[in-house]
Structure 1
Amino acid sequence: MPTRILFFLICFTILKSQGQYRFDGQINLDEGKTVYLSYIEDYRKLSRIYMDQIIRKTEVDSLGRFSFKGSNLPEENRIYRLHLDGCDMEPKPNPHILGVCDFSQSILFIANNTDTLNFSKSANGQTFCQIASTNPSSDNLQEIEFLKEEMIVDFNDFNSEANKKINSEKWFTSLQEFGIGLNEPLAELFVYDFLSDRRNETYPYYLKNLNANPYYDDLLNRLKNKYPETNYTRLYENEIALDRQIASGKGTMFFTGKWILAFILMLSILLNLYLLLQRKKSKATAKKGILEKLTYQEQKIVSEILKEKTNKEIATDLFISVSTVKTHINNLYKKLNVSKREDIKGLFENQN
């Protein structure tokens, strides 16, 4: 048995027993010095690097070797990305556009918390080209990438509707059957993400295929069986439900009606808030106008009346005689055009 394979198996046995992962490899030093590990829960975010997916980073040594190890990853298979950032981070803190560096290289793979993976360079020195792993699913996404490249060549031979139709039928079947054969639903999601992408030539055929082909429901069942409480399964289930509405012609109407109702509701809420604020503003202005008619002592009398105090209690609180209180109240009746204390209360309470 070759020494490298023996060493790899020993590492796998040790790490497996400890419940730890180890991802290591070697890169070309002229391509960068930092390697990032990302954890991807949304299969619609596989096409490029998203900064909010990064969970760890490491610096390479003088020979370009790097290593990630620990025990903090999920026990089940998940999709991960290693990427090498070749951008010069100085002097700008973030030279990327939409999270992508033109000089970045990356690789997608499947792994879990007990896996040992080695990312070796190819014979011509290409980084992230080969995966040696204790997990048979780790290189599934790479295998699918090779098939996708063949498919793209077929589509580019002739840019005609007949060619698109023939190749769509051929490659939908080929890719879906290949995914089933891998026995890994996450790899099938990688295929689904590509075939159902609205930007691809495959999207019109996907909508036709969605309701006619039992494959999509079968994939949902496989996801529910193997990854029941994950974002992968929830996102896929929601997407095929919405896409089926679009495929049947109800999707556009659904979204149009939904957004019209939402807009009307929001407009109604904003209008009510505006009217409420205007009413409060109007009442505050009216109250201020009434108070401006009164002297300072009369305003104090009004305040005491609103507290349900008698003439005697008002006189005691304001250190004036009861007759003076009565005089002020009579003046209030004239200024406010009312005839009793209850009218004063009603007038000011309605303004609060």
Structure 2
Amino acid sequence: MRHKLFILMLLTCSFSWVCFGQYEFSGQIDTKNWEGDIYLSIVRDYRKLSGIYPEQIINKTTPDAFGHFTFSGNNLSPENNMYRIHIDSCPEESKDAAHFTGHCLNSKEVLFVANNKDKITLPFTFDQEIFCSVASTNEKANTFIKIDSLKELMRYEFGSYRSQANWDLNAQKWFKKFQDYGQQLDEPLAELYAYAFLSDRSRDLYNYYLQDLEQTNYYQELAARLNEKYPNQPYTEQFKKELAADYFLIRKPEATPTSNWIYILGFLLIVSLLTNAYFLFFKRKAPAQTPTSLTNQEQKVLDLILQNRTNKEIASEIFVSVSTVKTHINSIYKKLNVSNREEVKSLYKKS
């Protein structure tokens, strides 16, 4: 019975190991130059690949007296993801200020690909530099370091160019190199890492990225690879949204064809407005009959009406009877198409 119980417990433990896995990330630091906690972060925003961001931190540990440290557990994702280990020498009381923008000058970090079953070690290099190499059971773990080597080679070569023509030619060459190399690594996360570098708007390469985006289908293919392998990751959706925004940026909206009837309606509207304006502002200013159609005597009567003279005053002024003045006035009304003195005054006041 005891043997059966022991076998059952052994099988249970083995089953748990298979189902849940167990990661272990270990390394060593130089305690003379570095001290304090070491942090493990998961990177879900590829625009925050490098730096110190508290919202990304998922674990921390303290190295022993010899500088050795280990992160272990079974709480990571079973699929590959982007992780970062970093240490910084900022005093505790100044960390918030020093890490405000995410970039800390007094820090050392390494970025790698891992999952819940990986064993990763970060050994010292020959010159006692930390976080410069990755040894792992996961063949994809050091893809970021490989991309970094390619980036350094590109920076060195670009530094020797002296003309814009050389920049243009070699920018195209390097974009092609990054695309081919990323696909050779067979890891979309490595390609995403390269994309984050090449499409950074703060870099001189950004304009060349936009040209490459317009000339090739590589980025659409990368989106398909990311969606196939990492469909539920936030960086996959982030990439899709950025790509859509950049495509909108480089593609000028096409002119919408306009039907002829819209132009006709527009023309008629303009003609109508001009016609109304003419009648409102020009026709109303002119009297129905011009002053030259009046006789000399009628013109005198009209002038006196505009001076607010009464019929009796007008008769005395031009030496005629009041009835004659009335006859002249009626004739004036008819010629000017008005019916009273106020309309006469209003007509000539406007003109």
TM-score (norm 2): 0.64
Distance (whole Å) between structure 2 residues aligned to residue 230 and residue 64 of structure 1: 34
Query: What is aligned with 1:185?
Result: 188
Query: What is aligned with 1:138?
Result: 141
Distance (whole Å) between structure 1 residues aligned to residue 142 and residue 63 of structure 2: 23
Distance (whole Å) between structure 2 residues aligned to residue 149 and residue 17 of structure 1: 40
In structure 1, the residue corresponding to 2:92 is in which secondary structure? coil
Query: What is aligned with 1:203?
Result: 206
Distance (whole Å) between structure 2 residues aligned to residue 89 and residue 125 of structure 1: 26
Pairing partner for 2:165 from 162, 178, 184:
162
1:150 Cα offset (Å): 0.8
In structure 2, the residue corresponding to 1:130 is in which secondary structure? coil
1:93 Cα offset (Å): 5.6
Query: What is aligned with 1:104?
Result: 107
Is residue 218 from structure 1 mapped to residue 221 from structure 2 by the alignment? yes
In structure 2, the residue corresponding to 1:229 is in which secondary structure? coil
Query: What is aligned with 2:69?
Result: 66
In structure 2, the residue corresponding to 1:31 is in which secondary structure? coil
Aligned ranges 1:271-290 → 2 under 5 Å: none
1:233 Cα offset (Å): 1.2
Amino acid aligned to 2:216: N
Pairing partner for 2:29 from 16, 24, 27:
27
1:159 Cα offset (Å): 4.5
Distance (whole Å) between structure 1 residues aligned to residue 95 and residue 170 of structure 2: 45
1:16 Cα offset (Å): 6.3
1:155 Cα offset (Å): 1.6
Q: In 1, are the aligned partners of 2:51 and 2:104 still within 8 Å (CA)?
A: no
1:95 Cα offset (Å): 4.5
Amino acid aligned to 1:23: F
Q: Any unmatched runs of 5+ in structure 1? A: 1-13, 251-352
Query: What is aligned with 1:87?
Result: 90
The structure that has the greater radius of gyration is 2
Q: In 2, are the aligned partners of 1:87 and 1:95 still within 8 Å (CA)?
A: no
1:36 Cα offset (Å): 0.5
Structure-2 change in CA distance of 1:218 and 1:93 (3 Å): closer
Distance (whole Å) between structure 2 residues aligned to residue 180 and residue 118 of structure 1: 26
1:249 Cα offset (Å): 3.6
Distance (whole Å) between structure 2 residues aligned to residue 148 and residue 93 of structure 1: 30
Is residue 230 from structure 1 mapped to residue 249 from structure 2 by the alignment? no
Query: What is aligned with 2:272?
Result: none
Distance (whole Å) between structure 2 residues aligned to residue 167 and residue 48 of structure 1: 29
Equivalenced residues, count? 237
Structure-2 change in CA distance of 1:99 and 1:198 (3 Å): closer
Amino acid aligned to 1:24: S
In structure 1, the residue corresponding to 2:109 is in which secondary structure? strand
1:18 Cα offset (Å): 5.5
CA-to-aligned-CA distance 1:30-63 (integer Å, 9 cap, x gap)? 2223110010011111132212111111000000
Query: What is aligned with 1:150?
Result: 153
In structure 2, the residue corresponding to 1:66 is in which secondary structure? strand
Query: What is aligned with 2:242?
Result: 239
